[in-house]
Structure 1
Amino acid sequence: MEDNPDNYVLVLEDRSETKSPADPGRLSVVSGQDEKGKIKTVEPTEEHRAAFLVFKKNDGLLKNFMTNLRRQFNDPTHFGLYKVLANGFEEGVASLHAMLQNRESPENKAQLQEARVPFEDNPPAQKLSAIDPEKVDWKELERLGVSPEKLEANGNLNRLLNWQKTGLISLAVPFGDTTIYTEARLALRTGADGRLSLNIHTLRREPQLDFPYMGHTFSPEEKEQLLTQGNLGRTVELSPKKGEPFRAYVSVDRLTNELVSLRADRVQIPHEIKGVRLSEEQHRALTEGRPVQVEGMLSRHGKPFDATLQVNAEKRGIEFIFKDTLSNKERLKSSAKEAPAVRQIENKPQKRGIGR
């Protein structure tokens, strides 16, 4: 077990057999999940240390774990869940037990509240409702040469109204006395004032990896990973200009070459994908952002297939990578040859000839 101050284990308190609500329950450490997703625990002793399930600060593993825990404990009132540092866990468990013996003490109550992992803090994600077309500023889109009719004709209207990015769309952007013709993906987002705003994701020749991305500087290995695979392959801590730092997956938008991030705590990795039950190691690897080879999955038509699975930030979930899929570096070379140049045309009045 790594001696990392950010690593912790979860200690489960079972009060189902206590005589009094104030009595401390039986303590055990979470060690994993069985094939059916049921939580497994072991005694909090050095003998079982290697079996402990270790969580990392700000990673997405806790969210997935809590989803299964809620399914197992329909009535969580008889249970408590607490974070204890993995390094020096025996002292931590002993201290936790002592505080639980006098849990109503103001000092103990405050410390227990800080260490407690509330069941209700991890509700299942709710799907956003579609955007009301009447709330969209269509005039803004029309100034870019985009109309609802054009979006509907190329299949992008439904995507735009469901909070998704469109495909690449040709834009005519007024710029002073000129018009710039380019391609971009469009998306609607809610601004700080609660109003809808249009996000324009312009086409780039290549990902911008030589500059810090939300406070994170990519190492040479990370740059190579993003260029070749399109996914970073791990989670990193990002620090937005406004807001708290968070761990996230990072990928390259394969249509625009823009870097995209996805908060790790908003991704729920299922334990079964396309009919295949993931092993604990496969599930952990996917949660951490690593690629996982899975064989024997079934398509919607019942045909078996194999693929590599990995979290893709741009796709907002797991993507299926097949052997014949172009690497991101090959795609960049291909798109560099085929990418249309940005055209700029001056909006000058045309001279008319006389007597012609």
Structure 2
Amino acid sequence: MPRTLARAAVLALIVVLALLPLPAHARSALDVAFDVADGRVTVTGTLTDGEEPLRRRVVVASLDGARQAEAETQGNGGFTLRFDLPSDLAAGTHEVAVEFAGDGDVQPARAVGAITVGGKATGQKPPSSSPTPPRRTESVTPTASARPDPTPPAPTTTVLTATGPAKSVNSGLLTLTGTLTDPAGRGIVDAGISLTDAGGEVDDSYTLTTAGGAFTTFYAVPEAQPSGRMTLTLTFPGADGLKPSRTTLTVVIEHTEVASPNPSPSESPSPSTTPSPSPTADRGTPSPGASTPATTAVQPPAPAAVTWFLLASAVAGGGALLTAAVLVFRGVNARGDGDEEGSLSFLDED
């Protein structure tokens, strides 16, 4: 009977565990737009989890299933993919797909568009397929030439500048500011700026440029950072038609030790209430390093029994002296009366 109950309990537990819902993965959504001009395909878009942008995720563009280009999403989830159409691409309609393979607890996503080569655009928009459909998927089907552009436009050079404090201490917080511009001084907005130190990239210091290409970020100096020169590198990885750029900052660190809550070996212990005998204590000579307050603090109090004994002895002694004085006084008076023998006879009495 007990074995039957145990088996039934185990079976019930298995059924309950089987019915528990599995943890849901976060959804992802691709919002893309396709463009084809002079034999070059440009795909722009954003990757989100349905509400918030997904940054630093890799998206890949493919043509008829063949991988063509890849890019990493920026801080706002945006990305740009470009690739040239193969020179031997056959005329007709071809599929262009953008895919995010998923990452950890984020589900993959896929968006599809169609282009027509060597003929009139059909206007076809194949549906987007994804384990979690994106909020919006856009695609175009323009007419494209199979001949690649022999002279594609060169990416624009970028200029990254940064300033910060020249000195700091370990565990200090640095405020770094700077700008990202083109050679003409025009600010580049919504560009991701990363920061690296001797240990690699610092995720908490990643930031985006704002109006005028300006940015502000923060860096916490490690507590174990030794004294000396510390180098920080700020990097713009490049983006839509923009070349990457970087700059470095040097900060002089002064290392300071954090005070320990435990007393150091050099600290003198507090005086003990029980005096320790020293080699010179018996001779009444104080130690060279002893101070007067310390000597006074360790004098033992007189025992209460000794005090009462001395008081009792004083009282007994005083009584004896008083009795002796009375006896002598009586003897002197008797002698004055001429009775010398009588004056001392009281000493023979029992």
Higher relative CO (Cα under 8 Å, sequence separation at least 6) belongs to: 1
Query: TM-score band, normalised by the shorter chain?
Result: under 0.3
TM-score where L is the length of structure 1 = 0.22
**Higher helix proportion:** 1
TM-score where L is the length of structure 2 = 0.22
